[in-house]
Amino acid sequence: MLRKLRSHGFVVQQLVAVIMSHQCTIARPAFPRNLFSTRSRILRPSSYALPRSAALATMTTQDSHLEDIFTQKRVLRSKIKKDLRSMDPALRSHEDDAIQKLILEAPWFKSSKGLCAYISCSALREVDTSKILQHVLQNPTKDGETQTPKRLYVPRVEDKNCYMRMLNISEMNDLIANSMNILEPAPVDANGNDREDVMLANEPVDLLLLPGLGFDKTGRRLGRGGGYYDTFLSKYKQLATQRNWKQPLLIALSYSVQIVEEGVIPVTESDVFIDALVSPSGFIPITPVAHHTLL
């Protein structure tokens, strides 16, 4: 998308311009909606041990409960999308700046060595991340004498079955729009080398900056319904456990209108809870580790 450019700073400026001007259309990904999807099977293991007729009855009850949850999620998504659409553009811009400023000035952000972040899409009315990305790519972290840039990984959707990878980028001149019209990295860099997948990296990330539609102060997160983030987050948390790494902080960026009353967001066993929220009025730590780190 962007021409190969020698000057790193210029590339970053171009990237920011691209992100700011890129108009994502709202795609309709073909999410599997059938009751026998992988996720709904994960949620009813007990029925397999029962006789066929009993198992069918159990599955029906559990499936209808799941159907209810997915319906409630759809209704809530529509409501929040409507609220986001009617948000005053000046307020949105003010909140974008406030959230990014809070993050850029936070000690836990400054000291982070590796992070996963989303590339915000204005058509989806997501909290802007362009300033954060710009900062990460332009400012090496001071580590004694040496200056190391933070390792940055951004999402790339690989298929419609909830599979998303987080790939390393250090320059952004080959970001391309995917089928949902969201900017994402090509799987190989300009030299033809595979980009590093965070799941295969030797070093952990300490921070994940997450998008979403709705959040509450108990850590519930309502995504866009693709299951991409929940699937990725549970795999990454498992990897961190296996490798004895510290768990990364899961921090969602939220406009004020996206924070809903506790208990309103329905959850299934597959939903991964977040550690903290960053809203325009400040940090909202949820887990003990977030209280300790953020405040």
Ligand X SMILES: Nc1ncnc2c1ncn2[C@@H]1O[C@H](COP(=O)(O)OP(=O)(O)OP(=O)(O)O)[C@@H](O)[C@H]1O
Give least dist CB 201 to ligand FFO, A.
19
Among 224, 257, 278, 285, binds ligand X (CB under 6 A): 224
By CB under 6 A, what part of segment 34-73 binds ligand X?
A: 35, 37, 39-40, 66-67, 70, 73
Tell whether residue 162 is a contact of ligand FFO (CB under 6 A).
no
Q: Which helix (H) or strand (E) holds 96?
A: helix 89-105
Sequence length of the chain is 295
Strand 249-253 relative to strand 276-279, pairing: parallel
- 204-243 footprint of ligand FFO as x/- string (CB under 6 A): -------x-----------xxxx-xx--------------
- Rounded Cα distance, 127 and 249, in Å: 18
Give least dist CB 194 to ligand FFO, A.
19
Q: Which helix (H) or strand (E) holds 165?
A: strand 164-169
- The DSSP call for residue 123 is G
Give least dist CB 108 to ligand X, A.
23
> Cβ closer to ligand FFO: 30 or 49?
30
Give least dist CB 223 to ligand FFO, A.
6
Distances (CA, A) of 37 to 43, 63, 91, 106, 273: 10, 11, 40, 41, 22
* Contact of residue 119 among ligand X, ligand FFO, none (CB under 5-8 Å per partner type): ligand FFO
Tell whether residue 290 is a contact of ligand FFO (CB under 6 A).
no
By CB under 6 A, what part of segment 12-41 binds ligand X?
A: 31-33, 35, 37, 39-40
Give least dist CB 199 to ligand X, A.
16
Residue 150 CA to chain centroid, in angstroms?
Answer: 18
Backbone dihedral angles phi then psi of residue 176, each to the nearest 5 degrees: -130, 155
Residue 295 CA to chain centroid, in angstroms?
Answer: 23
Look up residue 192 and give its two tokens.
Answer: 């033809």
Residue 216 and residue 75 in contact, taking contact as beta carbons nearer than 8 Å: no
- Rounded Cα distance, 35 and 110, in Å: 44
State the residues that interact with ligand FFO by CB under 6 A.
26-29, 81, 118-121, 124, 126, 155, 157, 164, 180, 182, 211, 223-226, 228-229
State the residues that interact with ligand X by CB under 6 A.
31-33, 35, 37, 39-40, 66-67, 70, 73, 162, 222-230, 268, 270-271
